[in-house]
Amino acid sequence: MNEQTHRLNCYVENKPGVLARIVGLISGRGYNIQTLNVGPTEDGTVSRMKIDILGTDKVVEQIILQLRNQVNVIEVTSRRM
């Protein structure tokens, strides 16, 4: 299967340790994050992360499911770039 860049859009609770958990989940599988963008949303208690990673559809899908399992992750969507 071909590797492709996927952009993950994550809405997470704005709490310490959340960024580290998400980045750790991706990097711990040996996947390199190409771009990472974190910023506030209008709701100050929620942050938005844009994460670009290179991977096969299957791997990225598994990462998304694992991300959704995280206690502080509100929603994850993705699209191929």
Partner 1 sequence: MNQNAKRTGAQALVESLAKAGTEVLFGYPGGQALDIFNCLTDAKFPFVLGRHEQGCVHMADGYARSTGKPGVCLVTSGPGATNTITGLATANIDGIPLVVITGQVPMSLIGTDAFQEADTTGVARGVSKHCFLVQSADEIPEIVAEAFYIATHGKPGPVVIDIPKNCQQGLTSAQYPERVSLRAYHPESAATSAQMTRLAKLINEAERPVIYAGGGVIASGAAKDVATLAHRAGIPVATTLMGLGSFDERDPLSLRMAGMHGTPAANWAMNEADLIIALGVRFSDRVTGKISKYAPKARIVHVDCDPASIGKNVSVALGIVADVKDVLTTVLSRVKSATHPEWIAKIDGWKKSHPVTWRQMHPKVIMPQAVMEAIDKATSGRAVMVTDVGQHQMWAAQHFRYSIPRHFLTSGGMGTMGFGIPAAIGAAIARPDHKTVAVCGDGGAQMTFEEVVVAVEHKLPVTFVIINNGCLGMVRQWQELFYGKNYSGSILTVRGRAANERLEQDLKYDYLPDFVKLAEAHGAEAYRVIDPAKLDATIAKAVKSKKTTVVEVIVEPRANVYPMIPAGKPVSEMVFK
User: Binding residues for partner 1, per CB under 8 A?
Assistant: 12-13, 16-17, 20-21, 24, 28, 62, 65-66, 68-74
The position carrying tokens 């709490």 is: 15
Minimal distance, residue 23 CB to partner 1, in Å: 10
Q: Which of 3, 11, 4, 18 is nearest to 77 (CA)?
A: 11
Rounded Cα–Cα distance for residues 28 and 30 (Å): 5
Nearer to partner 1, 24 or 40 (CB): 24
What SS3 class is residue 58? helix
- When the beta carbons of 17 and 39 are compared against partner 1, the nearer one is 17
Q: Whole-number minimum distance, CB 31 to partner 1, in Å? A: 14
Closest CA to 43 of 6, 75, 77: 75
Would you say 3 or 13 has its CB closer to partner 1? 13
